[in-house]
Amino acid sequence: MTPEDVILGVDPGLGTTGWGVIRVTPRGPTYVESGKIRTDSKRPIGERLKKIFETLQSTAREQRATAAAVEGGFVGRSALSALQLGQARAAAVLALELGGLPVRVLSPREVKLAVTGRGSAAKEQVGFMVGRILGLEFDRGEDDISDALAVALCLALHGGAAKASGAR
């Protein structure tokens, strides 16, 4: 990582995609911005994926991101959940790659291990550690955001932009 890398982390989901941006500084990572992309389940799938795609592309541009990471690996409760998650993840990866960013897909275990020291950590532990590292407090229901920031932190802690292009 170089001292001015800006990393966009994404926690994909068809209903809600969380995103978080951090800047890598000589003193460590700092929080920049975060948010959620919500899609309406009553809308056609293509429209929902387009919203994820376009929002992530514009966010990466606006924040001048230099690298990105997307959480992968979680299967979900059913085949339909897994399919929808895969579609949202594909929209995120494609949006960022076409935007010219090196993208790395990180497993939930990898992210948890990097942020908490335990690959089996609970969501609450991940949110707590992300908050401590970045000096934030998360309200209930902000798991999508804390998870996205955890994904960005994982990339920052493991070489970020230099490793993002090639490792999938």
Residues with a known catalytic role: 11, 71, 144, 147
Q: What is the Cα–Cα distance from 113 to 65, expressed in whole angstroms?
A: 24
Going 43 to 44 to 47 to 50, the CA torsion angle's sign is positive
Q: What are the C-alpha distances in Å from 158 to residues 1, 58, 164?
A: 8, 26, 10
Q: Are 129 and 135 in contact (CB under 8 A)?
A: no
Which residue in 62, 78, 80, 76 sits closest to 21, CA to CA? 62
Q: Are 71 and 155 in contact (CB under 8 A)?
A: no
Which residue in 102, 61, 74 sits closest to 13, CA to CA? 74
Q: Are 67 and 102 in contact (CB under 8 A)?
A: yes
